[in-house]
Amino acid sequence: MDLKLKNRIDVYDIDTKELLFSKENLVVDSGRKFVLEKLTNIGIGNINHSVDRRLLYFKIGDGGVADASKPMLINFPVATDTDLINPLPFRTYDGTKLNEYCKSVNGSFYGKYFSPLDDSSRWDIDATKNKICFKAECQVSRSDARGEVINEVGIFFGSKDGDNNIIDDGMYARITFASKYCIGTNGFSIIYHAFV
């Protein structure tokens, strides 16, 4: 494990498993409030802390660079961010049951649930260095966001109601990076690392 205790993403090519890049994230104000509410069971502001909220899904977007013609000029997150600058849909609803997607707007899916990891993959615990890391996999599949440019990822918390609709959600963290292109059948596995 890395000696630094900063949350980050590692982005891998789905086919080759090659590490494409790593990037630290910013846990935004609503994310820090969410953690403190979970630790204390005391609400901060207007957020309903009594529901069963957890890190639940992620979004992708193309607002992570200041100018689309300069894909390396990163537009850094700020603590007051509550959503991505420009969220992109993963795909359009095609009549099939797509359980891995959420946050549907006008027939398009703007959120995707984390891919399931088993406990041995989800936790890194190093008692000798007093470090614990939780990992969640955010997978941009070979059919997601085709033809789009991705340069921002948002990690979101929330809960589900009886109809599996996401409620009481908010942004936990935002990460921006140099543009990656969803062309052909390439896909990305984004591993989100949360350290304490």
Summarize pLDDT for 25-57 with one digit per residue, the tens: 989 988 888 888 888 777 776 666 667 889 999
List pLDDT tens digits, range 143-180: 999 999 999 999 999 998 888 888 889 999 999 999 99
Whole-number pLDDT of residue 3: 47
What are the structure tokens assigned to 107, written together? 């027939």
Measured CA to CA, the distance from residue 185 to residue 91 in angstroms comes to: 14
| SS3 (DSSP) at 121 | helix
Residue 147 lies in a domain: yes
Measured CA to CA, the distance from residue 26 to residue 171 in angstroms comes to: 11
Residue 1 lies in a domain: no
Average pLDDT of the chain, as a whole number: 88
CB 87 within 8 A of CB 108: no
- In the chain, the number of structural domains is 1
The Cβ-side half-sphere exposure at 141, using a 13 Å CA radius, reads 12
Residue 2 lies in a domain: no
Residue 108 lies in a domain: yes
Residue 43 lies in a domain: yes
Residue with tokens 């590490």: 19
In 10 A of CB 160, how many CB atoms?
A: 18
List pLDDT tens digits, range 122-133: 998 888 888 889
pTM metric for this prediction: 0.89
Residue 3 lies in a domain: no
Sheet holding 131-140: strands in order across?
19-24, 8-13, 188-195, 131-140, 123-126
| SS3 (DSSP) at 107 | coil
Residue 66 lies in a domain: yes
Residue 141 lies in a domain: yes
**Domain range for residue 43?**
8-195
What are the structure tokens assigned to 101, written together? 């997607």
Q: What is the 3-state secondary structure (H, E, C) of 3-62?
A: CCCCCEEEEEECCCCCEEEEEECEECHHHHHHHHHHHHCCCCCCCCCCCCCEEEEEEEEC
